[in-house]
Amino acid sequence: MSKDIATPTRTKEILEKYGFSFKKSLGQNFLIDTNILQHIVKASGMGEEDAVIEIGPGIGALTEQLAKAAGRVEAFEIDRRLLPILADTLKPYPHVTVHHQDILQADLRPLLEELRMSGKTAVVGNLPYYVTTPILMGLLEQKLPVDRIVIMIQKEVAERIAASPGSKAYGSLSIAAQYYAEVTQELVVPRTVFMPKPNVDSAILRLDVRSEPPVEVRDEAFFFTLVRGAFTQRRKTLWNNVQNSVMNKTYKEELQNLFSEIDIDPIRRAETLSIEEFALLSNRMYPMWK
């Protein structure tokens, strides 16, 4: 049996064999620590009946560990140069399929629907840093039939996604992600377990996709417009941001009455509002806005 792909010696051997050079623009930092990989696999909760879609397999370090646990792995890699390498490194795992495709262009719905017929589904990836948010929000906003998303991303972004009201990291990204999923930060991962070593530390996030949102909103588009608008200038009050960035200074009096009716103090800052308070405010403001 050959050594795991993720060991530093085997990774170096593979890279040398194929004369592979890293492309920084594609966020290519490969994992060289099997303990971290196993943590990701465990967090995915996938077993023999289940299927995983992997984003960016690289030379197959995480793919291999996923293949040892799950019944099927479908991996999407944008870099054509990695295809012959993956065909070689993943030869022992016939239940892995590699797709040469940009994950942002892929229509994952039909694939996930098919995979879900036999078991649970997860989307997993050690994500390229340059597109973390578009990838994650794309997956969530499409409301795909997926049970769990487990991603390794830049630590600061993970903190923003998992943040609670009242904390510095809490913002529109926290609310957007938590509207679609229950978010848990699993583990902080030092930069030393990657080749080449990036300039930032990472963290593993687990997102259990909700079957229903945690709050009832009358209009999702307006809810998110309000949330984004409320955080436009973090140092300003909720009142200022809502007036200037959401309502274009209209309905001033009505808005004042509304704030007092629902008992939300307009001099608060957006970062103190819970998702429930944003839902309440957006549901009451919606008739003024539409």
- What DSSP designation does 242 have? I
Contact call for residue 28 and ligand SAM (CB under 6 A) = yes
Residue 256 one-letter amino acid? Q
Least distance CB 117 / ligand SAM (angstroms): 25
Instruction: Judge whether 257 is annotated as a binding position.
Output: no
Which of 46, 53, 56, 255 binds ligand SAM (CB under 6 A)? It is: 56
In the complex with ligand SAM, the residue whose CB is nearer, 31 or 115, is 31
Cβ–Cβ < 8 Å for 204, 184: no
The per-residue b/e assignment along 170-205, b for 16 or more CB within 10 angstroms, e otherwise, is bbbbbbbbbbbbebeebeebeeebbbeebeebbbbb
Cα(243)–Cα(265) distance, integer angstroms: 14
Which of 33, 50, 74, 79 binds ligand SAM (CB under 6 A)? It is: 79
Which of 39, 46, 57, 112 binds ligand SAM (CB under 6 A)? It is: 57
Contact call for residue 78 and ligand SAM (CB under 6 A) = yes
Contact call for residue 202 and ligand SAM (CB under 6 A) = no
Of 12-20, 27-35, 143-151, 234-242, the window that binds ligand SAM (rule: CB under 6 A) is 27-35
Cα(85)–Cα(78) distance, integer angstroms: 13
Cα(118)–Cα(104) distance, integer angstroms: 25
Residues found near ligand SAM in the complex (CB under 6 A): 26-31, 55-58, 61-62, 76-79, 82, 102-104, 126, 128, 131
Annotated binding-site ranges: 29, 31, 56, 77, 102, 126
